[in-house]
Amino acid sequence: MALSRETLEKAFYDFILRVSTGMPEDIYLAIKRAYETEENPVAKTQLEAILKDMNIACSETRPICQDTGTPYLWVEIGEDFPLKPLVIEEAFKSALRKATKEGYLRPNAVDPLYAKNSGDNTGRFIPWVHYEPVPGDKLTVRLLFKGGGSEAPSTLIMSTPLKGFENLYTGVIDTIVRYGPLPCPPLIVGVAIGAGADIVMSLAKKALLRPIGQRHPDPKAAKIEEELLEAINKLGVGPHGFGGKYTALDVKFEYAHRHPATFAIGIVTGCWATRRGTIQFESDGSYRILSKHLVPEGGACVIR
């Protein structure tokens, strides 16, 4: 297989379908564990419906949620990878258009000034793409389809440094309480500290990509994740606001160095249907979807 724009486009199309219809392994297993251990009967019916939904989406190749989200890409492009960023982006856009036209994605890109839906999920700055040059000759693309409902709680707090951690803890709890059932809990909560508004919002969103259960390598950061997760789950908002033990599946914390005078805090939530995945291309055009998803195989759904 030679590397070309067409090779990328075809691979991206398969990747888009995989991410939109196949739950990531970690979230699927976390929901399954929650279902098995939840004692509140109504919360349990919600977790059961979610598991059924994941299985139907997988076996019938349907989107997991009808809000197929806004596409966010994090692109790690090897300095020696033969194709240029614009070619990669155009290939991804063509794949998005195809998947939308075939009814696998809902057209979600709306021009705010002219109130017009582009009809194909591409538009001004959409997909939203972050590029990171890395050594080597590989291309790694991480995709997040971010639902609209779970964007509502996004919160920025420009704290004074002295009150930083106090505002971090109370800000996260207040945000989860304020939005209750709206962002479709159980959630993944991304939290970040840094120098400026854009830095923390961006880091908090990227933190949603880290797998459930994986702790931040820094022990202090890991402790913040654990404390916040425990506190959020004590609130008892529960799946879709029906109480019980699971308001969040995990909390992901990230930080950048801050300015001496600033302590920006970013809070972002991902719904239970946080659809994300990773694909990697070699310079010869071969590729692999690195993330594991729930996929159909021989009449059943397996993780692969």
Partner 1 sequence: MSGEARVFHLRTPISDEDVEKLRVGDIIYITGIMVTARDEAHKKILEVLERGEKLPIDLRGLVLYHCGPVVRKRPDGTWEVVAAGPTTSMRMESVEAEFIAKTGVKVIVGKGGMGRRTAEAMKKYKAVYAVFTGGAGALAANRIKRVVDVYWLEELGIPEAVWVFEVEEFGPLVVTIDSHGNNYYEKHMEEVRKRAEEIKKELLSKIEH
The CA distances from residue 18 to 31, 73, 169, 205, in Å, are: 19, 15, 36, 21
Amino acid at residue number 250: D
Closer residue to partner 1 in complex, CB, 127/244: 244
A 10 A CB-CB count for 23 gives 29
Q: How far is the CB of 191 from partner 1 (least distance, A)?
A: 13
Q: Does 286 interact with partner 1 (rule: CB under 8 A)?
A: no
- Would you state the torsion angle of the CA atoms of residues 81, 82, 86, 89, taken in this order, to the nearest 10 degrees? -60
If binding is defined by CB under 8 A, does position 196 make contact with partner 1? no
| Least distance CB 87 / partner 1 (angstroms) | 29
Q: How far is the CB of 289 from partner 1 (least distance, A)?
A: 20
Interface residue with partner 1 among 29, 32, 40, 137 (CB under 8 A) is 40
Question: One-letter amino acid identity for 118?
Answer: S
Judged by CB under 8 A, the number of residues near partner 1 is 57
Residue 66 contacts partner 1 per CB under 8 A? yes
Residue 45 touches partner 1, criterion: CB under 8 A: yes
30 touches partner 1 by CB under 8 A: no
The site map against partner 1 for 91-120 (x = CB under 8 A) is: -----------xxxxxx---------x---
Inter-CA distances, 130 with 71, 107, 166, 206, Å: 11, 22, 31, 10
CB of 148: closest distance to partner 1 in angstroms?
Answer: 9
- In the list 211, 236, 285, 296, the residue contacting partner 1 (rule: CB under 8 A) is 236
How far is 29 from 185, CA to CA, in rounded Å? 16
> Rounded distance, CA 109 to CA 120, Å?
7
> Which residue stretch of 125-133, 234-242, 251-259, 295-303 sits at the interface with partner 1 (rule: CB under 8 A)?
234-242
- Classify 39 as helix, strand or coil: coil
**Nearest C-alpha neighbor of 304 from the set 7, 23, 6, 12:** 23
Q: What angle is formed at CA 23 by the lines to CA 22 and CA 27, rounded to 5 degrees? A: 170
Residues that bind partner 1 (CB under 8 A): 40-43, 45-46, 49-50, 52-54, 56-57, 60, 62-68, 102-107, 117, 147, 149, 152, 165-166, 169-170, 173-174, 177, 180-182, 184, 227-228, 231, 234-237, 239-243, 271-273
